[in-house]
Structure 1
Amino acid sequence: MTFRDDFSVREITAPTSLAPEAIAFAGDVRPPAGGADSEYGTGRFVLLHDAEEPEQWSGAWRIVCFAQAPLEPEIGTDPLLADVAWSWLVDALASRGATLHSASGTATKTLSKGFGTLAAEGDGAQIELRASWTPSGDLTAHLDAWAELVCMLAGLPPGSEGIAVFGAQRNARD
Structure 2
Amino acid sequence: MDEARPPLASATFGDVADALRAMEFRTDFTVREIAAPTSLAPDAIAFAGDVRPDADGLDSEYGTGRFILLHDAAAPDAWNGPWRIVCFAQAPLEPEIGIDPMLADVAWSWLVDALATRGADFHSASGTATKTLSKGFGSLAAEGDGAQIELRASWSPAGDLTAHVAAWAELVCMLAGLPPGSEGIAVFGGQRRGGRG
| Common fold: TM-score over 0.5 | yes
- C-alpha deviation, 1:117, in angstroms: 1.6
Structure 1 residues 8-32: Cα deviation after superposition (integer angstroms, max 9, x where no partner): 0000000011111100000000011
Normalising by structure 1, we get a TM-score of 0.95
Q: 1:133 to 1:165 in 2, by over 3 A?
A: closer
Q: Aligned Cα RMSD in Å?
A: 1.4
Q: Point out the more displaced range, 91-100 or 116-125.
A: 116-125
Which of 7, 15, 31 is the equivalent residue of 1:9?
Answer: 31
Structure 1 residues 54-108: Cα deviation after superposition (integer angstroms, max 9, x where no partner): 1100000000000000000000000000000000000000000000000000000
| 8 Å contact kept, 1:73–1:172 | no
Matched with 1:29 is 51
Which stretches of structure 1, 4 residues or longer, exceed 4 Å deviation after superposition? none
Partner Cα distance (2:81, 2:94) in 1: 39
- C-alpha deviation, 1:164, in angstroms: 2.9
Identity among equivalent positions (%) equals 83
More strand per residue: 1
Q: Is 2:179 aligned against 1:152? A: no
Matched with 2:109 is 87
Q: Aligned letter for 1:88?
A: W
Normalising by structure 2, we get a TM-score of 0.85
Matched with 2:137 is 115
SS in 1 for 2:80: coil
Q: Is 2:158 aligned against 1:136? A: yes
- C-alpha deviation, 1:172, in angstroms: 8.4
- C-alpha deviation, 1:165, in angstroms: 3.7
SS in 2 for 1:151: helix
Matched with 1:20 is 42
Which of 89, 94, 100 is the equivalent residue of 1:72?
Answer: 94
